[in-house]
Amino acid sequence: MKSPALASALIAALFAPDATAATEPDTDAEATVTLGRVEARGRASSGPLAARQVLTSVDVMGAGEIAGKNVMNSWELLGQMPGMQLTETRQGAESGKATFRAFNGEGYINGIKILIDGIPSNVNSGNQRFMDMLFPLDIDYIEVVRGTNDPRYGLHSIGGNINFSTRQGGNYSHARLAVGSFATRELQWVHGHQADGIAQNYVAAYQAADGYREHDRSRKYSLGGKWFVDDEDAGLKAGLVARVYHHQADEPGFLTAAELAGARRASPAKNANDGDVRDMRHLGTHLDLRLSDRLQLSSKLYYNRYEDDRQVTFTDYVPGNAPRQRRQWDEAQTGLLATLTWRANDRLTLAGGVNTEQQDNAYRRLRHAYALPTDFDATPARVQNDDRYRLDNVGGYLQAVIQPTEALKIVPAFRVDRFSGDTHLPGNVRAPLQRYGWIEQPKLSVMYALGQAVNVYANWGRTFQVLTGSTAPAYLTAGQAAFRPSINTGKELGITFRPIEGTEARLAAWQQDATDEVANMPATGTTVGLGQTRRRGLDLQVNTRLGPHWTVWASHALQQAKVVSAFTADGRSLAGNDVLATPRYISNVGADYRPDAPWHVGVQGRMQGDYFIEETNQQGRYGGFAVLDASAGYDLNERVSLELQVKNLTGRSYAYAWYDNFFWGGNDQPMFSPAPGRSVFLAVTMTL
C-alpha cells in the first residue's frame, strides 16, 4: 500500500463511528499492578484520562492494605509498595520520605511529585511534607506512576509521581484507637454521608508518642472536611476540600558511630532544646463538567500553606555559630489545573491540560552562639537568611490515546513548562530567577496485547529539574552563572502477564539519563553539580491469590545511579561514582491469610542494600537493612475488630546514615539516626 493510502486508511479507522468500531480490549490496566482491593468510583469512562493510560509502570495500593496499618508517618505506608526506598531520618517533624527509580530521599535531589487528590503537594524544595496531613483511615488508595512519560505534571515530577486519593462520598462512620510501644496513642475518626447528590466527608485524627529515643516526643493533629455536589443528569460534580494540620515534636539529633554503638536510644546533650513546630493548611475546589457526551472539563483550584519553625543543632565540636540553627519557613502556593478530554470514539481520545502555580515564600535562618545545649531563646549571633522569593510556573500538555487495532495502543504526548520569579535578600539585594525559557518535554508510549493475558509496553519521555531555594544559584545574583535546566531522558520496556487466574506480574527494564543534574539543598545553601548522570534498573513484581484464603506478593528492584561526567570543586572527577544514597536493590515480600473465620494474619518483609553516603564514594557504604513485620486481626462482631501488629519482629538494629561534611572544621564523619527496635501496637476499629 502506498503511503497516502495508508495514511487515509489510518485516519478513517481513527474517526470511524462507534457503531462500526471494534470493541476495545481491556488493556487500560495492563501496565498496572494492584495490591489490595480498590473500589471503582466516579464516572471513569467520561472523566479525565487515568494514570494507567499513560502506559508506564503503575502500582496501586487499596484501602484494605492501608487503613489498618499503624504508622507514625504516612510515608511509611509506601514501604509496602515495590521498589520504594524509605529515607528514615526520624528527626521529629523531619521524619523521612519515600522515593523510587534511584532518586534518593536525602533532600538534595527531590525527584518525585506528590499529589493529594490530584493536587500538587510538594514544598518549594520538592520535599514531601504535605503528605503528613493524611492519616491511614482517610486514604482510599495510593497510586504510584514511575518513569518520565506522564505528561500531566511538570515541576518535581522527574522520576514519577505519587497520588494519595482520600475517601470521597459514601456512607460510613469509623473510629480507630491504637496504643503501643514508646507510649504511642492514636485516635482516628472518619465519617461520610451521601444523599440526594450531596456528599460530606470528615476526618479528625490525633497522634502522640514519646518516641524510640530520648528527647523524641511528638504530638500531631489533623482535621479535614470535603463537601461535594454531584448531579449526574447535568454532568456536574463540584466540591470543596479543606484540611488543617499541626505538629509539635522534639528532635533527638544524629549520632556518631561511637555514640550509636554506645547508646543507640540516647539523645546527645547538644540536642536537648532541638525541636520543630509545623503547621500546614490546604483549601481546594474541584469541578468536573460534562460539556457533551464526548467532552469533559475537569479543574482544580488550590491553596497550600506551609509554616515551619525548626531548631536544630548538628554538632558541639565547633565553637562557632554555624552548627546551631533556627530555620523558619513560610510558603504559600496558589494554583490551578484544568484538563479538557475529548473521546472522539473508541479508537481516539485527546486530552489537553494547563496549570499555573504561584509560590510566595519566605525563609529565615538564624545562627546561635555555642551553648550546651543550644539556647535558642538567646539573641541570634547572626541572621544568615531573611529571604522573600517567588517561583511562578506555567505549564501545559497535549496527549492522545490512539488504538488503531484491538491489540495496539499508542500514546504520544508533549508538555511544556516555563518559570519566572524573583528573590529579595538582606541588604536590599534583588535578583531574578534563572532564565530557563520554555522547557519542552516530548513523550511517547506504546502497548501491544499478546492475547488476553500478556501485554508488552514501551515508553520514552523527557522530564526536567530546576534549581530551588531563595539564593544563588537558583536566582541570578551578581556574578552568578546561568544554569540550564537538567533534562532527564527516560525509556522503559516492560511486560505484564497473568500466568494463572488471580496472579498478575510485571517485569520492566528502564534507564534515565540526565544532563546538568545538581544535588541542591536549599535549607543549607548547598549545591553540588553532578553533571551527567545515568540511572538504570530492572523491576520484577508478582501478586497472586493462592486459593480463596491466601494472598502473596513479592518484588525485587535492581537499580543503579551513576555519575557519567562531573568534577568536584577541587577538580577531581566523579565519573563512575554512585550518586549518593542510592541502594543497589530494594526487595519486598508479604503474605496474608484470611480464612472463612473472624480472624486473619499477615507478614511483610522489606530489604534494602547499602549505599555510599557522599559523592566521592570514599567514606564507606551504609543504610542497608532487612526487617520483618507481622500482624493478626480478629473481628469481635460486625462492628468491632481488633488488630495486633509487631513491627521489626526480629529486633534488627539498623540506622539511616548521612555524611556530615558541611562546615564542621575537620570533624567530617558519618552520622546516624537509628530506627526503632521491635515494637508492638494494639488497635480497635469500630463502625459507629
Q: What is the pLDDT of residues 167-187, one digit of tens each?
A: 999 999 999 999 999 999 999
Average pLDDT over residues 475-480: 93
Average pLDDT over residues 513-528: 87
Q: Which residue has the cell 503503575?
A: 58
**Looking at residue 27, what is its pLDDT?**
37
Q: Which amino acid is at 201?
A: N
CA distance to 194, 235, 365, 476, per residue, from 290 (Å) = 21, 5, 49, 45
Cell of 634: 480478629
The pLDDT tens digits of the residues spanning 208-244 come to 999 999 999 999 999 999 999 999 989 999 999 999 9
Which helix (H) or strand (E) segment holds residue 261: the answer is helix 257-262
Give 427's contacts (C-beta < 8 A, 6+ positions apart): none
The pLDDT confidence band at residue 664, using thresholds 50, 70 and 90, is low
**Looking at residue 245, what is its pLDDT?**
98
Average pLDDT over residues 109-114: 94
- The share of the chain scoring above pLDDT 90, in percent, equals 80
**Looking at residue 438, what is its pLDDT?**
98
What mean pLDDT, rounded, does the chain reach?
91
Out of 27-31, 88-92, 189-193, 421-425, pick the least confident: 27-31
Average pLDDT over residues 249-275: 96
Question: How far from each other are the two terminal CA atoms of the chain, in whole angstroms?
Answer: 68
Predicted TM-score of the model (pTM) = 0.93
Instruction: Look at residue 96 and give its three-state secondary structure.
Output: coil
Is residue 361 within 8 Å of residue 469, measured between CB atoms?
no
CATH class of 13-687: mainly beta
User: How far apart are alpha carbons 486 and 31 in whole angstroms?
Assistant: 28
User: How far apart are alpha carbons 641 and 487 in whole angstroms?
Assistant: 50
**Which residue has better confidence, 3 or 193?**
193
Q: Is the pLDDT of residue 522 over 70?
A: yes
**Looking at residue 663, what is its pLDDT?**
54
The DSSP symbol for 567 reads B
**Looking at residue 666, what is its pLDDT?**
61
Q: Is the pLDDT of residue 274 over 90?
A: yes
**Looking at residue 8, what is its pLDDT?**
39
The pLDDT confidence band at residue 44, using thresholds 50, 70 and 90, is very low
**Looking at residue 46, what is its pLDDT?**
59
Q: Which residue has the cell 521524619?
A: 95
**Looking at residue 108, what is its pLDDT?**
83
Average pLDDT over residues 489-496: 96
Phi (first) and psi of residue 521, to 5 degrees? -120, 90
User: How far apart are alpha carbons 156 and 417 in whole angstroms?
Assistant: 12
- The share of the chain scoring above pLDDT 70, in percent, equals 93
User: How far apart are alpha carbons 147 and 511 in whole angstroms?
Assistant: 9
Give 4's contacts (C-beta < 8 A, 6+ positions apart): none
**Looking at residue 603, what is its pLDDT?**
96
The pLDDT tens digits of the residues spanning 571-591 come to 888 899 999 999 999 999 999
